[in-house]
Amino acid sequence: MKKNCFAFPLAAAFALIFSGLFASDSRGQEPALVAGAEKMQPTFLPNKVYTYQNETTVTMAIPTPQGERTERKVIMSQVAKLKTTPREGGPGTSIDASTERMQFTVRAADREMKYDSDDESTKSSQLGQHFEGARQRTLSLVIDDTPKIISAEEKGGGGPATPMPGMPQFGPDELRQLVHSLLQGFPPDPVKPGSEWTQKGKRPIGQFGDTEFEITYRYVKDENVDGAECAVIEFSGQMRGDVSVSGQPGSEGGKLGFESKGMQGRLIFDKLRRAVRESTQTVTMTVDVPGPDPLSNRKLRLPMRQEVSVKLVALQDA
């Protein structure tokens, strides 16, 4: 029984850990020309090095045989370096993205599994070998001036073959999703403090499935952050969907059905540098996971809380 004590939180956390990164259709609730309004269009300036720290914590309450609940927690922290150059053959930017550091922890009341790319003692385990292979892979992206990602190419040897096939490695795919998230959430029309807009649509989560979402954003105010004029934007909304857990540790296949009870967040946008300096998001949801009996269709409905933070920790000339 102890062998699979992390099965439910691992399968769910891997599937949902980046569900806060959305692609969408946007509907501004104000006309394009508003007195005092300005367009907030994020971009990556060429010949720069952006360093972002991204941390995700997923907490789930798991039922015990005694009828009680015990907490399981998955924590992933990634430091990503994004080196930019002018795009060849058109407007936009090319990005070479790499993972500088990765930390991953799965925690229960009586056990902890850990990987830290800066700690040699954590690299010999199956979990460590699994993540070491992904960390050696990088990603080259091309972004146009709309802005959106128009191409992405993985590079690098990838290291040793993973001893945990089927489990996400938080490598190039997550780097792509990080870049994508930094370009999303902004309206197509000029806005000013007090403006609101809504985004809705579907977002694929890697190979797992699609999420449906609807998010309302509000431009709250301008604020000086470290000497830079920034826009403070708050958002809230809902999401739902089914994600595959086929091939995940401790799983016999099938789908995880999830529905958010509430999503709320805040982002700070640097208007001069046209970049997200910081964003936070919290999602409270319920997740329907396959029960322990593979012959039964019975599912367990488990409460889950996901907290995501992204922060620009450095911006330098290349």
Dihedral sign, Cα of residue 32, residue 33, residue 37, residue 41: positive
Structural domain range at position 125? 2-317
E strand spans, the chain: 25-28, 48-63, 69-86, 93-107, 112-116, 138-143, 149-155, 196-204, 209-225, 228-244, 255-270, 275-290, 299-317
Per the model's pLDDT, the better-predicted residue between 157 and 54 turns out to be 54
DSSP assigned state of 87: P
Q: Decide if pLDDT at 8 tops 70.
A: no
Confidence (pLDDT) at 85? 97
Q: Measure the CA–CA gap between 156 and 137, rounded to whole angstroms.
A: 5
User: If DSSP codes are grouped into helix, strand and coil, which group holds residue 135?
Assistant: helix
Per-residue confidence band for 182, with pLDDT thresholds at 50, 70 and 90 = very high
Residue 21 vs residues 107, 111, 115, 125, 249: alpha-carbon distances, Å: 24, 30, 24, 30, 24
Non-local CB neighbours of 295 within 8 Å, separated by 6+ positions: none
E strand spans, 18-67: 25-28, 48-63
Confidence (pLDDT) at 210? 65
CB 265 within 8 A of CB 183: no
User: If DSSP codes are grouped into helix, strand and coil, which group holds residue 11?
Assistant: helix
Give the chain's domain count. 1
Confidence (pLDDT) at 158? 56
The CATH number for 238's domain is: 2.30.230
Q: Bridge-partner residues for 265, per DSSP?
A: 235, 281
Confidence (pLDDT) at 266? 96
CB 16 within 8 A of CB 56: no
Which tens digit of pLDDT belongs to each residue from 229-287? Answer: 999 999 999 877 766 554 444 444 456 666 767 889 999 999 999 999 999 999 888 87
Predicted model pTM: 0.82
CA 45 from centre of chain:
22
- In 10 A of CB 114, how many CB atoms? 16
